[in-house]
Amino acid sequence: MGKYIVATDDNFSELINSGKPVLVDFWAEWCGPCKMLGPIVEELADELEGQAIVAKMDVDANTNVPASLGVRSIPTILIFQNGVVKEKLVGGNIPKSQLAQTLLKYV
């Protein structure tokens, strides 16, 4: 299990304004592609610990943030720097190398 943070509507603003780049995986329990991408995101959390923050947000339990960001398909990966969305990746077939490379541009 990776060292990811569970993002919620309540902690989201503080999380994305932490000073480090933040990758957020928007997912749901019933989503098949999310289950494929989830372990990759968790591995990335382990590998990039200290360099970036990796978080996962359940869109069924937290509806305000995904709606405000226009997240309509899951899984969706958003990468934030200083509270601003810098990258958006949608779909379950995102290789770990691509996720890491995209996130590391902001470290």
The pLDDT > 70 percentage for the chain reads 98
CATH number at residue 62: 3.40.30.10
Has residue 100 got a pLDDT over 80? yes
Tell me the pTM: 0.95
The domain total for the chain is 1
CA triplet 26, 84, 9: central angle to 5 degrees? 45
What residues are labeled active site?
31, 34
Q: pLDDT of 27-61, one tens digit each?
A: 999 999 999 999 999 999 999 999 999 999 999 99
The amino acid at 64: N
Domain ranges, residue 37:
5-105
Has residue 64 got a pLDDT over 80? yes
